[in-house]
Amino acid sequence: MKKKGLLNKLWLKHTDKRGYKEYKWQLVNYKDVEFKRFITGNQRLSNFPQIKEHALANGKLNLNHSGNAGDIIYALPTIREIHELTGVPVNLYFTLNRPMIFAEGVTHSHALGGVMLNQKMIDMLVPLIKSQPYINECEASSDKPIDIDLDYFRSGFVPQDKGNIAHWCAYITGVNPPLWKKWLTVEPDHTYKDTIILARSERYRNIMIDHKFLNKYDNMIFIGVESEYNDIIKTMPNIKWVKVDDFLQMAKMIAGCKLFIGNQSFPFSIAEALKVPRILEVSFDVINVVPEGEGGYDFFFQDHFETLVEKLAR
């Protein structure tokens, strides 16, 4: 883990010196100054009554998040709860190119390399997030005044290698979103009604699991990046790959499918948000995703996995 973090820092240092300097500043800022402010409540909206008072006085709330993409999806139930409790328009702005910091125990590569959120990823995210009724504006921005910096969960106070990602932003804002209810709404693509959709990132894999048994099921679709697809076809040579144009398209596919199977990666966050029938492959190294509500299942072991698929793929 320490070796992986060092490699990411060296990659940034030698490819983007300005970005590396910004990273070093942010590291000091979040780990020292901002952490002290976080625990004392100074110079931030530290609890929900304070957030509501500020929201009503200003008639809106500007929120900031710098990724990862899945973290943003898991922040949405907190954002929706804040919108419903305050009744003001909520704007979500993204910060580009903050360096990737891996959770303890994660050793595999990330699709974006050394950063958490780039412009391409934002372009993929915005159509989905902007379509939600509780989001007013959604875009990349570095000059908007920010009322709630959702990156405070990175201050060092919230452990990120355990628990549930969907709680992180709730902890720092003082709200309790109903995570058993769906928080994404899209029009399902019913052309996938008889389809099992599979996603499996290089990170968060359970090394004990073999997907070969899924070859007996028809209408298997894979979503993810090309390197992930090239890996899964070694085990499932007949699975089809659908390369989506944006994440709104992905969400519509997942909303319309018979069953979704994934590990602790971005596509599962969408399945969790939609509360479709879903099965989570849990990593032994980092357990920070927890299915909640109807249709959610998870597993550690192969026989449990196969039993769940047999039950839900009928």
> Of 155, 174, 177, which is closest to residue 166 (Cα–Cα)?
177
pLDDT of 3: 47
Q: What pairs with residue 56 in β-bridges?
A: none
Residue type, 51: I
pTM given for the model: 0.84
pLDDT of 116: 86
| Tens digit of each residue's pLDDT (9 = 90 or more) over 284-309 | 999 999 999 999 999 999 999 999 99
- Alpha-carbon distance values, 3 to 7, 107, 212, 285 (Å): 6, 9, 32, 16
Residue type, 98: R
Q: What pairs with residue 280 in β-bridges?
A: 262, 298
Is the pLDDT assigned to residue 243 strictly greater than 80? yes
pLDDT-derived band at 9 (thresholds 50, 70, 90) equals low
Return phi, psi of residue 18, to 5°. -65, -45
**8 A C-beta contact, residue 147 and residue 56:** no
Tell me how many degrees the CA angle 48-49-51 measures, rounded to the nearest 5. Answer: 60
| Tens digit of each residue's pLDDT (9 = 90 or more) over 194-238 | 999 999 999 899 999 999 999 999 999 999 999 999 999 999 999
SS3 256: helix
